[in-house]
Structure 1
Amino acid sequence: MAGAHAATLDDPNIWLEDVSSPRAMDWVNAHNATTTQRLQADPRYKTLYDQALAVAANKDRIPAPTFTHGQIFNFWQDADHLRGIWRKTTLASYRTAHPQWSTVLDIDALGKAENKSWVLRGRNCLEPDENRCLISLSNGGEDAVEVREFDLARQLFVPDGFHLPRGKHKIAWEDANHLLIATDWTPGDVTPSGYPFIVKRLTRGQSLDQAIEIYRGDKNDGGYGVAPAVLQDGQGRQLAIIVRPLDTFRHQTFVITPKGVQRLAIPDKVDVVDLVDNRVILSLDEPWKGHPAGALVAVNRDALLADPQNLDPKPVWAPGPQDAMDSHTSTRNNVLLATLHNVQGRATVLKPHPHDQWRTQTLPLPDNLAISWGSTDVKSDRAFLGASGFLTPSTLYLSDTAKGTLEPVKTLPAQFDATQDIVEQFEATSTDGTKIPYFIVHRKDIRYDGQTPTLMTAYGGFEVSETPYYSATIGKLWLERGGAFVLANIRGGGEFGPKWHDAGLATRRQVIYDDFAAVAKDLDARKITSPRRLGIEGGSNGGLLMGVEFTEHPELWNAVVIQVPLLDMIRISKIAAGASWQGEYGDVNADPAVMAFWQKTSPYQNLKADVKYPEPFIFTTTKDDRVGPQHARKFAARMEEMKLPFYYYENTEGGHGSGADLKQSARTQALTMTYLQEKLMN
């Protein structure tokens, strides 16, 4: 406690934590003006902005399809619909080159009519008919939303329907007339990270204060707050659960039974993820009853409801030595997996058979691509699946998973000239001898003289896997200009399962930062690039990664882009939702070892006036109520105190991202790319 308290007393920039205060916003506006004036004066900026906006608004993009209410729905943004339209068509029409869309909800028009900066944050439709949906609207892009009930058949908000005012709500349909809701029912009904811990049942026609409490966690709980969910299989069976997070990764799971809410006897790092063929699917992040971490298992739903304390899990899928689960979903009858084998994508269909058996089928897809399941149909075994690579434009397939067939439906036209580029996968050796794979995209004819401008990124946290992806922005604004791009698969992610993530938790986190530096040194050793031509970029937890690399290894790079970052790891629990991530980073207030680690590692606390740092580009948004702009502001302010050069830009909208609409995002991308080209290509 003394360390955290002293850090507050010694912090001359604490005033910048008051997000919207006039003094803080004056500081933001002054630095925004300086940064935009400098970067927009570069003759490249205008072209980069035009290209970024053209990429974002390109009508040749594949419209992401969603099976809803017997039709195909899509949320679409372009130059005429900056905030977007929710629209629909038939599956037959969607299969054609030019689908006939009809607009269901126009977010731009809604915002204009209500004088709000509405951003669509989510749609939650009641299964199985999906004729009613809960629409989540964010003012300016923040995580907090207003929720309204929408009638799909009549295409309007339901008069006197379900409605929740602004908040960080967790909501599930129990049936047409009941919602399970976790929210801040009265002022103060939130955890230290700002999330709800009380679940109530709301009946149609009731006011919020009439909702009946069914579960209460603890005000001091960690993680993202309690969350209700209702799972439904293809035959209409349901399982209603409540998840109570203890920290970022550990949680308790409860099931709603006729006898009330009862806790499931499963470990704290096991998740209930689906219901298929009356089998409850669980994902294991730790070993359980003989099943390994990273596996899927199943429990009979009827047996679970009858006795939640005595469960008999049966195997569904288990990873091999280089395998990891990337994602999973289901159709009416099947479980669908997207897995990784040495960071290469695979698509697998698991079909239930009698006596707790499953039949496995791997779909025939090209190698060296990222594979992701999209929307699935709860009324059939159809599912959309996407495949793409760094130089391979996305292809969308429609799979009949019952038959194991794949039908290419749409392929994205090439968004940049990749004919002169290749993709390679290498390994670097980290400080403890661990091999760290990474991908590099570069010109076929590069000269191995250390002079190739190279942009490197990674995430390294929360068991998030980083896989190859097709980026028109990187391709058009960076690769076409002769730059190389590197994606590092460092520890902290999920590329090789839970063990890859757990290796870098809390006070073990230095291996993550060592892994990233090792890849940079490997690029230098191969003479692909050199510190003069190497830039790095990352956001959120990746922004923390950039901040640590900036302070620990300023000699390895000439450009550092720090986006919507965490940087003050001593006061993280006091800023926005920071207290919810103590399972990832440790608790500086409760564990002296964690405090000691971050005192020597936290970027904000470890800036030094007498060090020659590269000039960074620091980006955040005022409306980010997840990480908060405070970290970026204070880091820039400390650099300013030390008379260290930097660029700072804070978008006044956008939430935890690059912007609330396409023009804002294009501006952020153009400023960033102008900075990178000045530093690495000049």
Structure 2
Amino acid sequence: MAGRPGCTSFVPAPRRWLSPCALLAAARPVRCQSTAASQQSDDPFQWLEEVQGEEALAWVKARNQEAVADVSEPKNSAAYGRILAILDSKEKIPYVSRLGRWYYNFWQDEQHQKGLWRRTDFESYRSSNPAWEIVLDLDQLAEQEGISWVWSGYNALDEGPGSKWDRALVTLSPGGSDAVVVREFDLDNCRFIPESEGGFELPEAKSSAGYRNRDERVVGTDFGEGSLTASGYPRVSKAWKRGTPLSEAVTVFEGEHDDISADQVLYYDRGEWHEFQNRALDFYHNSMWYRRGDPTRGSVEAGALEEFVRIPVPEDAGVGTFKDAAIVTLRSDWEIEGKLFKSGSLLSLKLSSCVAGIFSDIQVLFEPTARSSLQDSVGTHNFMVLSILNNVRTELQYWRYLEQGRWEQMSSSEPGGEVPVGCDVQVSAVWPDESDEIWVVKDGYLQPDLLQLASAADCGAKPQDIKSKPAMFDASGLVVEQAEAESLDGTKVPYFMIRRKDVPLDGTTPTLLDGYGGFEIPMTPGYSAGVGAAWLERGGIKVIANIRGGGEFGPSWHQAALQGKRHKAFEDFEAVARDLCRRQVTSPEHLACIGGSNGGLLVGNMLTREGAALFGAVVCQVPLLDMKRYHKLLAGASWMAEYGDPDQPEEWDFIRGFSPYHRVQDVCLQPGSGWKCPQVLFTTSTKDDRVHPGHARKMVKRLKEEVPAELAPKILYWENIEGGHGGAADNTQKAYMWALTYDFLWQTIGRGSSQRGEAPASKL
């Protein structure tokens, strides 16, 4: 939910920032209601929540056949071949993360569908043909074990100065679900360490696990009754000694049942060891405790370690470290010791002062404006690089660390000058414990990725080109523009548009509007060869709306569409659609919208609001739609800070207003509504254990059974049996899903397609 589809973290950084969002990749999901329970519900379609139920899967397979028969077999589509070739291309940049002397990369192509974990040294990496050593072959492992393994990352053993970097906890997902198996891996000999040799191994669950030292790790998982929170994440953290059964692990930290999760973590940071305990109270609030870390001591040795001390900062603030400094990110205004610090600010002070509650010497590293926000902060050995969005365009600031939480600003610029409209620049540290080198990635809607190596010490002034991705679609004649639409309350909503420069503004051009609008996640520019090859080359226009609820302008932009104000995100999206029609970029007959996850909730509302008349087609991917039961399904309870609690009558009153599953009956089918459903394709995954596939299944069932056919001319549904929340587990599945999607869109809103007619002018 909280991640933007398609966003790649190209160099995983050490875990140094603690926030509720960072803790949401762990734990076993809450189980759905049983069939017997569903028969007692007033929801006639609740039986479709039985993910692997025989009747439910039979219904799914029938709908899949209908969708393919209607759109045509994706594998026979030109779009399928183009997208698969792009995904399998050996000309992609192999992004790396460093451990000691090695640079690790995970790679997928036509010969390696599940993927290779591999490594090389730096000199080889920067060459045109690196010599890779295979560390783990997932295709081979999947064949040996008969399980469709999907790579989920790793956590290496960091022992500070002189670390051997010879051990890692590898996480593998069966079929792409969030639930993973965790196994200890020997990086020297490229093999899993079996339990018989003292290797750590956790069975399938949404576990959190990290080394405390070579022979102890702290784990959170499903230890049995009472060990999970109401959201289905670990409530209990335990210290697990090597060579002992998991049942003998000792509890070191516990949260509450109503928390999202609880976690304890130890890490090394530029000469300092830090240990945190964290209770994620909800998605945006957490309670944190701190003590100086000591990996040479066992986590439960009596009297050997300091006691944890509660950090007295606002519960919605994020706290991280840089050496001996505390770095605090604010999500609300904070008045302390006679000073007011604005929401969205980045603050620094001495860590010991922060823990002691002494805030007289805070330094402000960033303070937002109405149209600027902090997107990221990356620490090298001596510097911090801030990525700032200024009207959805990235700027970089460089700060040099002095001592005792104090900094000196060096520059406010970015390598190579100002970032053009529709482009972006991303920064990551190469080896922050020893080096000030940074990776710089430049890309954009029409600009393929360029990987550079630079130094924070000279503010990135002398970048070296390391790798570049060739153009993977024909961008000649295409332009990127940034415009604004005015929402109902007068708020200016920016959006990007990618189109042919010579396209006629006569309302006939097929246009695809994309949005998200939730969880303070911005929609920033990035190169998508699939969009280019399957949509832009055909002559379509792509539009990306930066609506409220996202993170384009910081916490205030997000909070403007929280809970009872959710309708503001939908009004913003409709405002962009109206602006496109007003400018005759397109018209409702040729306008479609697309969104996934929280974006699926967004476009689900486009289906069921008056704004449905603005769209000829909708693609709704891995969506939330039944907002009465979302908090009872899988990870849903963790999102109540975003949407509200439907079990509270006063909150259900406003939640019901943006629950598409209920709006069909409450609004759309009411006499005189004038509603007609756009042509729609729903896509999801059986293996999605984050957003339950029951949302999409039940919505389709309701639209097909309760809505007259003349009001819902085309309702298609396709569910991938694997894939997790991303909808696909490997490149062939991704290509299949996206070919089906783009072919559906072109058939419904392309020039010459059969349509339901123009929307009345009063609706625009």
**TM-score, normalization by structure 1:** 0.95
Query: Where in structure 2 are the equivalents of 1:121-520 lying within 5 Å?
Result: 121-127=152-158, 128=160, 129=163, 130-159=165-194, 160-221=198-259, 223=260, 225-235=261-271, 237-256=272-291, 258-273=305-320, 275-288=321-334, 289=336, 290-304=340-354, 307=356, 313-354=362-403, 356-361=406-411, 362-365=413-416, 366-368=418-420, 369-374=423-428, 376-378=430-432, 379-405=434-460, 406-520=463-577
Distance 1:107-1:9 versus aligned 2 partners, 3 A rule? same
* Other structure's SS at 2:700 match: helix
Preserved CA contact (<8 Å) 1:190 1:197: yes
**Aligned mates of 1:137, 1:299 — CA distance in 2:** 39
1:416-467 CA-partner distances (Å, limit 9, x unpaired): 1111100100000001000000000000001110111101101100000111
1:362-411 CA-partner distances (Å, limit 9, x unpaired): 33334222122245313312221211111111111112222333222112
The aligned residue for residue 635 of structure 1 is: 699
- How much does 1:90 deviate? 1.2
- How much does 1:296 deviate? 1.5
* Other structure's SS at 1:260 match: coil
- How much does 1:291 deviate? 2.1
Deviates more, 1:59-68 or 1:563-572: 59-68
One-letter code aligned to 1:603: P
**TM-score, normalization by structure 2:** 0.85
**Aligned mates of 1:367, 1:332 — CA distance in 2:** 26
- How much does 1:183 deviate? 1.6
One-letter code aligned to 1:230: L
Preserved CA contact (<8 Å) 1:87 1:101: yes
**Aligned mates of 1:154, 1:557 — CA distance in 2:** 56
**Aligned mates of 2:385, 2:213 — CA distance in 1:** 26
**Aligned mates of 2:652, 2:361 — CA distance in 1:** 41
Distance 1:633-1:281 versus aligned 2 partners, 3 A rule? same
Preserved CA contact (<8 Å) 1:282 1:296: yes
Distance 1:497-1:310 versus aligned 2 partners, 3 A rule? closer
Distance 1:308-1:408 versus aligned 2 partners, 3 A rule? same
Preserved CA contact (<8 Å) 1:234 1:331: no
**Aligned mates of 1:311, 1:74 — CA distance in 2:** 44
**Aligned mates of 2:236, 2:426 — CA distance in 1:** 34
Q: Does 1:651 align with 2:720?
A: yes
The aligned residue for residue 757 of structure 2 is: none
Query: Where in structure 2 are the equivalents of 1:555-594 lying within 5 Å?
Result: 555-590=613-648, 592-594=649-651
**Aligned mates of 2:248, 2:221 — CA distance in 1:** 14
Question: Which of the numbers 105, 108, 111 marks the counterpart of 1:74?
Answer: 105
Gaps of 5+ in 2: 1-32, 293-304, 754-764
- How much does 1:312 deviate? 5.5
* Other structure's SS at 2:483 match: strand
Q: Percent identity?
A: 38
1:240-275 CA-partner distances (Å, limit 9, x unpaired): 1122111111111122453333321111111123x2
* Other structure's SS at 1:226 match: strand
- How much does 1:320 deviate? 3.4
Gaps of 5+ in 1: none
**Aligned mates of 1:220, 1:469 — CA distance in 2:** 37
**Aligned mates of 1:375, 1:203 — CA distance in 2:** 32
Preserved CA contact (<8 Å) 1:171 1:228: no
Distance 1:308-1:209 versus aligned 2 partners, 3 A rule? farther
One-letter code aligned to 2:342: P
- How much does 1:6 deviate? 12
Preserved CA contact (<8 Å) 1:277 1:352: no
- How much does 1:303 deviate? 4.0
Deviates more, 1:93-102 or 1:615-624: 93-102
Query: Where in structure 2 are the equivalents of 1:6-85 lying within 5 Å?
Result: 9-40=41-72, 45-85=76-116
**Aligned mates of 1:113, 1:621 — CA distance in 2:** 25
Deviates more, 1:158-167 or 1:495-504: 158-167
**Aligned mates of 1:172, 1:333 — CA distance in 2:** 26
Deviates more, 1:76-85 or 1:243-252: 243-252
Preserved CA contact (<8 Å) 2:253 2:264: no
Query: RMSD of the TM alignment (CA)?
Result: 2.0
Preserved CA contact (<8 Å) 1:625 1:655: yes
